[in-house]
Amino acid sequence: MDELMQEFLTDTTEKLNALDLDLVRLEKNPNDGELIGRIFRLVHTVKGNCGFLGLPRLENVTHHAESVLSQYRAGTVPVTTDSVSLILQSLDRIKGIVGGIAETGAEPPGEDKALIELLDMEAASKKSLPEAVTAFSAAMDDVSAKSLRISVETLEDMMTLMGELVLARNQLLPHMTPNSKQPMQRLDKTVSALQQSMLKARMQPVGNLWTKLPRLVRDIAIDLGKKIRIDMAGGATEVDRQVLELIRDPLTHLLRNAADHGIEKPALRVTKGKPPEGVIRLSARHEGGQVIIDVADDGRGLDEAAILQRAVENGLVPATRARNLSSAQIQQLVFAPGFTTSTEVTSLSGRGVGMDVVRANIEKIGGTVELSSVAGKGAVVTMRIPLTLAIIPALVVKTDGEHYAIPRNTVREVVALRRGGVHQIQRINNAKYLDLRGQMVPLVSLQAVFGADTLAAKSLNPFIVILHAGNGVFGVICDAVVAAEEIVVKPLSPALRRLRLFSGNAVLGDGGVVLILDPSGIARDAGIEPVPKPESADMPVLKSNLRPALLFRAGSGADRAVPLEHLSRIERLDMSQVEDIAGRRVIAYRDGLLPLIAWHGVEGNKKRQPVLVIRNGGEEAGLVFDSVVGVVDALPEVALKQESGSGSLGQALANGHAVDVVDAPALIRRAHEGFVHDRPDTLL
Amino acid sequence: MTAQILSFRLAGQLCGMPALEVHDVIRGGQKLTPVPRAAPAIIGVLNLHGRIALAVSLRRYLELPDAPRHAAGMSLVIEHNGDLYCLAVDSVGEVLSLEGKAAPVPTVLDANWRKAVTGVWQSGGELLAQLDVRGIIGQLCDPLETTTATETK
């Protein structure tokens, strides 16, 4: 296909897509002159191009459509609902022909007689005026060249080269000499900035996806005799174009569900005291490195009785348990795989058709879907999707001497197993479990999944990474957690896809390739059934947001970390001066008394001991410790959360080791309350 | 007609493939990341200028014994359906200009060779087996489809 044709097709398709959004507006306000003008100009341009591109069929259709449009524009023929349908029909035909050309390079065969007759009838319904084309040709889309079309391949190439550049920089950094320090820093900064703008170049507004949706809703509404308005907000929210492509189908599905099953017919709505016109609200926003898209409707909500009945029929829920399910649990059933497989889909009078597919597709790209519904009031489906698939935060683990990456969004927590520690692997026959806060989480050893020699040396202190898979969680046992890194994801070679153990691969900072684990695939392969996620309330994720921390050693057990924001000073204090006052262990310090906290006894210890003075607001306390291990710039947020008030925020990973993160505010509060003295064991 | 064939050796056997289809020839000994549970011929993945390539041992594909450990070897880089592949061979020779047409594959060859060889050339008193590298890659990517396709032929 020659370049001219290609350009014509791209341009026309883009304009047609852009029009879709406006066409629905046209129906509400049929005599929107500006809009009619735009449609007219588009059709006119297409027609003009047909002549020299040699497209007789398209030319014929556009010619007839143009004459009708020119009359609408001139106001000689009034625009009615029928007219709008006619315009839509013509544009659909044009779209079909353009699509056919794009596919085969030639006009697809087809008969346009009926449509042309309709158009001619419409045009003849009032006397026609001479075409006032000239005025419009001058005003034809004169968008100045502030943006530039660039092929996706070129962009991908640039991304690859960018990756190489980042790599080269990483390899250079350790070899910095005093002379090269300044240019290196500049290079470093420039490369980072360049990477940011490259990523930005891949971004597209979510609104690009939405243009087709009003039309879809309109068609459904007319088909089913409903009245539906679609509200959209946040269309400018940007997301990687690859992600955009992947959420297109799920989003369309959700919208169709809302229009089809959610919104009631006008008469029914009125009896329920709602306005006859239903509303579907589509909104998008950025939040915490993710894009959140809500599809909300004010329809009937989920029909829980019908869902429950279907679930029992399909054997998803034993009939005996059905009565005990909470409303939220019933709503979750629509996501269960196989929920919609039986009989005809339309017989289900609630929402949730094909939701398992929607969820699967969204989870494939590392997103999540949630649904909440209030019977009679409506339902909201919330999709959380990553901004980009190109660069993702990942946890790098080691097993059998090889490194593997696990996408951070699939990691629930990391548990370090230590001899004599709280967490131990339990066995039933050959199946391994971890008792995690009272829940038996099935475990799979990466070594076993990878078919490695099980006699190979086992790590004495393995780690368990608890992963999300579908609706549940399970744990993989690995030798060590090596690092938390941002990785540039590349698609897996087709020869490795059918293994279904890896979702992709990536180049690490050292230039080596690392395979990315696919949690669902691994669970499936190992034949284990992930257990349902515990209620989210009892597992709040540690919100450390990568803050710097001081690592220190005190008493027995793992190293501890205190966030620098809570650290005032490090002192060396004489432990013989410690006094016990009103149940508090205190020491004279500066102008007052400093309550002390220790992980081991300080009484009788006459030595001078190092003390970390920690603060929270205006209050201070001293932590007696043994030695400083080091400082980490960023304490990762992967953590095993402890009960609040235990004095520890949980375990985080620092320099490859699990460390206990000190809950400074809680410790200070307790030190001041005298809690330390009363129950030293529970605290430390 | 002259065919430009890049020659290489596998366990002493002279083999070849169309020179124009070879993107690049790289030295062996690159850092490979092994892929657990992959087909035996797939020896790992590696980073080639920012792109990730699948490394395939032609020796293993043809069920020849592995090369001695100290042998560095060479790799032919091929692009197939937009993906990169590194085919490990023992050594790479010169590009041969071969006249005429390749002789058909002798039926006496072992089955694993027969499915990999597209033709046989005479070159300097030696037989050169022309390998169907794209066929080999296709077979690694989708073993089922390729076998059924050959069966129905």
Which residues of chain B lie closer than 8 angstroms to A451, CB-CB? 36-37
CA distance A231 to A210: 11
Which residues of chain A lie closer than 8 angstroms to B49, CB-CB? 160, 164
Asked which of A538, A568, A594 is the last residue of a domain, the reply is: A538
Q: Does A494 touch chain B (CB under 8 A)?
A: yes
Domain boundaries, chain B: 10-152
Residue contact B142–A494, C-beta within 8 A: yes
Which residues of chain B lie closer than 8 angstroms to A403, CB-CB? 33
Residues 6+ positions from A180 with CB-CB distance below 8 Å = none
Of A97-111, A452-466, B96-110, give the range with the top mean pLDDT: B96-110
Of A286-290, A327-331, A337-341, A381-385, give the range with the top mean pLDDT: A381-385
- Domain that includes residue A528, residue range: 391-538
Whether residue A194 is contained in a domain is answered as no
Edge to edge, what strands does the sheet with B51-57 contain? B22-27, B74-80, B83-89, B51-57, B42-48
Which residues of chain B lie closer than 8 angstroms to A164, CB-CB? 49-50
**Minimum mean pLDDT among A15-19, A164-168, A281-285, A351-355: which range?**
A351-355
> What was the pLDDT predicted at A406?
93
Of A153-162, A592-601, B44-53, give the range with the top mean pLDDT: B44-53
> What was the pLDDT predicted at A156?
80
Q: A462 and A326, same structural domain?
A: no
Q: A418 and A309, same structural domain?
A: no
Nearest CA in chain B to A502: B35
Please tell me which residue, A513 or A166, carries the higher pLDDT value: A513
Question: Between chain A and chain B, how many beta carbons pairs sit less than 8 Å apart?
Answer: 71
Q: A289 and A214, same structural domain?
A: yes
Q: A520 and A606, same structural domain?
A: no
Nearest to A38 by CA among A52, A49, A25: A25
DSSP labels, A451-473 = T--TTSPPPSS-EEEEEEETTEE
Confidence of residue A468 (pLDDT cuts 50, 70, 90): confident
pLDDT at A605 over 60: no
Tell me the average pLDDT across A207-215.
85
Please tell me which residue, A257 or A641, carries the higher pLDDT value: A257
Smallest Cα distance from B99 to chain A, Å: 35
**Minimum mean pLDDT among A375-379, A579-583, B110-114: which range?**
A579-583
Whether residue A200 is contained in a domain is answered as no
Neighbour tally for A149: CB within 10 Å: 8
CB A109 within 8 A of CB A53: no
Instruction: Say which CATH number the domain at A518 has.
Output: 2.30.30.40
Whether residue A153 is contained in a domain is answered as no
**Minimum mean pLDDT among A157-161, A581-585, B104-108, B121-125: which range?**
A581-585
Q: A531 and A552, same structural domain?
A: no
Query: What percent of chain A lies above the pLDDT cut of 90?
Result: 9
Whether residue A301 is contained in a domain is answered as yes
Residue contact A160–B39, C-beta within 8 A: no
Please name every residue paired with B78 in a beta bridge, in sequence order, or none if there are none. B22, B85
Nearest CA in chain A to B36: A450
> What was the pLDDT predicted at B15?
95
> What was the pLDDT predicted at A584?
74
Residue contact B81–A507, C-beta within 8 A: no
Residue contact A514–B42, C-beta within 8 A: no
pLDDT at A678 over 70: no
The residue assigned the tokens 């799979």 is A444
pLDDT, one tens digit per residue, over B125-146 is 899 999 999 999 999 987 765 4
Residue contact B83–A514, C-beta within 8 A: no
> What was the pLDDT predicted at B61?
93
Whether residue A13 is contained in a domain is answered as yes
The residue assigned the tokens 């890896």 is A502
What is the sign, positive or negative, of the torsion defined by CA atoms of A434, A440, A445, A451? positive
Distances, alpha carbon A267 to alpha carbons A27, A263, A277, A650, in Å = 21, 11, 10, 56
Q: A134 and A216, same structural domain?
A: no
Amino acid A659 reads V
> What was the pLDDT predicted at A260?
83
Q: Does A114 touch chain B (CB under 8 A)?
A: no
What kind and span of H or E run contains A637? none
Confidence of residue A344 (pLDDT cuts 50, 70, 90): very low
Q: A405 and A359, same structural domain?
A: no
Q: Does A511 touch chain B (CB under 8 A)?
A: yes
Report the residue of A156, A399, A493 to disrupt the B interface, i.e. the one with the largest count of B CBs within 10 Å. A493
Nearest CA in chain B to A488: B50
Residue of A164, A403, A515 with shortest CB distance to B49: A164
pLDDT, one tens digit per residue, over A42-96 is 888 887 777 777 788 888 888 888 888 877 777 777 777 777 788 888 888 888 8
Confidence of residue A145 (pLDDT cuts 50, 70, 90): low
CA distance A47 to A55: 9
Nearest CA in chain A to B34: A402
Question: Strands, DSSP E only, in A7-142?
Answer: none
Instruction: Say which CATH number the domain at A582 has.
Output: 2.40.50.180
Instruction: Say which CATH number the domain at A74 has.
Output: 1.20.120.160
CA distance B3 to A42: 53
Please name every residue paired with A351 in a beta bridge, in sequence order, or none if there are none. none
Please tell me which residue, A152 or B135, carries the higher pLDDT value: B135
> What was the pLDDT predicted at B134?
93
Asked which of A368, A386, A404 is the last residue of a domain, the reply is: A386
CA distance A62 to A90: 8
> What was the pLDDT predicted at A297?
92
Residue contact A499–B141, C-beta within 8 A: no
Residue contact B52–A493, C-beta within 8 A: yes
Backbone angles phi, psi at A271, to 5 degrees: -65, -25
Classified as helix, coil or strand, A587 is: strand
Tell me the average pLDDT across A456-480.
82
The architecture in CATH of the region B10-152 reads Beta Barrel (2.40)
Smallest Cα distance from B69 to chain A, Å: 19
Tell me the average pLDDT across A548-576.
82
What kind and span of H or E run contains B74? strand B74-80
pLDDT at B7 over 60: yes
CA distance A555 to A631: 19
> What was the pLDDT predicted at A533?
63
pLDDT, one tens digit per residue, over A638-649 is 455 655 666 777
CB B99 within 8 A of CB B91: no
> What was the pLDDT predicted at A106?
80
Query: What percent of chain B lies above the pLDDT cut of 90?
Result: 61
Instruction: Say which CATH number the domain at A371 has.
Output: 3.30.565.10
pLDDT, one tens digit per residue, over A270-288 is 998 999 999 999 999 887 6
> What was the pLDDT predicted at B42?
95
Nearest CA in chain B to A492: B52
Confidence of residue A534 (pLDDT cuts 50, 70, 90): low
pLDDT at A131 over 80: no
CA distance A62 to A40: 10
CA distance A93 to A235: 28
Confidence of residue A606 (pLDDT cuts 50, 70, 90): low
Report the residue of B30, B31, B32, B37 to disrupt the A interface, i.e. the one with the largest count of A CBs within 10 Å. B37
Whether residue A333 is contained in a domain is answered as yes
**Minimum mean pLDDT among A116-125, A142-151, B120-129: which range?**
A142-151
Q: A612 and A475, same structural domain?
A: no
Smallest Cα distance from A209 to chain B, Å: 27
Which residues of chain A lie closer than 8 angstroms to B85, CB-CB? 493
Smallest Cα distance from B56 to chain A, Å: 10
Torsion of CA A318, A319, A320, A321, to 10 degrees: 60
Whether residue A219 is contained in a domain is answered as yes
pLDDT at A306 over 60: yes
Which residues of chain B lie closer than 8 angstroms to A514, CB-CB? 33
Residue contact A507–B35, C-beta within 8 A: no
Q: Does A198 touch chain B (CB under 8 A)?
A: no
Q: A414 and A298, same structural domain?
A: no
CA distance A245 to A364: 13
Asked which of A344, A363, A386 is the last residue of a domain, the reply is: A386
CB B30 within 8 A of CB B46: yes
pLDDT, one tens digit per residue, over A287-296 is 766 788 999 9
Confidence of residue B64 (pLDDT cuts 50, 70, 90): very high
Tell me the average pLDDT across A477-490.
85
Of A411-415, A470-474, A569-573, A648-652, give the range with the top mean pLDDT: A411-415
pLDDT at A129 over 50: no
Tell me the average pLDDT across B49-63.
91
* Alpha-carbon A449 to chain mean position: 28
Whether residue A11 is contained in a domain is answered as yes
When the pLDDT of each residue in chain A is averaged and rounded to a whole number, the result is: 78
Q: Output the pTM of the full model.
A: 0.55
Q: A573 and A518, same structural domain?
A: no
Classified as helix, coil or strand, B30 is: coil
Backbone angles phi, psi at A652, to 5 degrees: -125, 170
- For chain A, helix, strand, coil in percent to 5 are 40, 30, 30
CA distance B113 to A512: 33
Tokens for B40? Answer: 């035996």
Please state the domain count of chain A. 4
Q: A478 and A457, same structural domain?
A: yes
